[in-house]
A and B are shown apart, each in its own frame.
Chain A
């Protein structure tokens, strides 16, 4: 079954506003990673947060992780038109003996930032 679910599925905001995307997952994880994908292009790694971390920052990005609620959020502050893309969360599921390794992706949030 799908590990990650993201909401909203689509988000449309004005330049300069903040964008918040949420991700929920079902099983124990080692880490959660956020990726960005422009239409039909490659996946760009944004940030990794490990299961023992609660918050991480990278530039205009802020990621939180709540393992008790099995959820994560990605906040993009002061958004720009160039931030328009799909954003995916992906979980590295904890398995017997450690990481299963492969990532399980959420359905993604399609962000549109209007100039």
Chain B
């Protein structure tokens, strides 16, 4: 079965550079979530989209922005990178209200490991 695809899998950047992470949800999933997991930490919610509109916002820095496109893939743009941004970034997809059932499972991608030097 198709899973969530994230690219790139690994990314190394210098401080103050920018990075773009991509997420391709499971086909027919209309909701995408972004999470950040620091070393030894639990995942923290950043931002979510439902039907290409931002649906909720968590602890996402102002330096980060994201969007969901017409094909439902999503991109997380990160600017002015800081050392503390080094983390695993996960995208999760979910079939939302259009499935006729609320509160469904979120399926996570393999993550992008971002290292800021």
Contact indicator A108/B42 (Cβ below 8 Å): yes
Contact indicator A42/B106 (Cβ below 8 Å): no
What are the residues of chain A within 8 A of B103 when measuring CB–CB? 30-31, 50, 92, 99
Q: How far does the alpha carbon of A61 sit from the alpha carbon of B48 in the complex, in Å? A: 29
Q: How far does the alpha carbon of A35 sit from the alpha carbon of B96 in the complex, in Å? A: 19
Judged by a CB distance under 8 angstroms, whether A115 is at the interface is no
**Binary interface encoding of chain B residues 80-109 relative to chain A, with 1 for a CB under 8 A from any of its CBs, else 0:** 000000001010101010000011111111
What are the residues of chain A within 8 A of B106 when measuring CB–CB? 33, 45, 90, 103
Contact indicator B102/A42 (Cβ below 8 Å): no
**Binary interface encoding of chain B residues 36-58 relative to chain A, with 1 for a CB under 8 A from any of its CBs, else 0:** 00000011110010100001101
- Report how many residues on chain B are interfacial, defined by Cβ distance under 8 Å: 28
Q: Which residue of B lies closest to A47 (CB)?
A: B105
Judged by a CB distance under 8 angstroms, whether B68 is at the interface is no
Contact indicator A103/B33 (Cβ below 8 Å): yes
Q: How far does the alpha carbon of A40 sit from the alpha carbon of B110 in the complex, in Å? A: 10
**A30 partner, pick from B96, B102, B108, beta carbons under 8 A:** B102
What are the residues of chain A within 8 A of B111 when measuring CB–CB? 41-43
**A101 partner, pick from B44, B56, B90, B113, beta carbons under 8 A:** B56
**Binary interface encoding of chain A residues 93-110 relative to chain B, with 1 for a CB under 8 A from any of its CBs, else 0:** 000001111111111100
Chain B residues with CB under 8 Å of chain A are 31, 33, 35, 42-45, 48, 50, 55-56, 58, 88, 90, 92, 94, 96, 102-111, 113
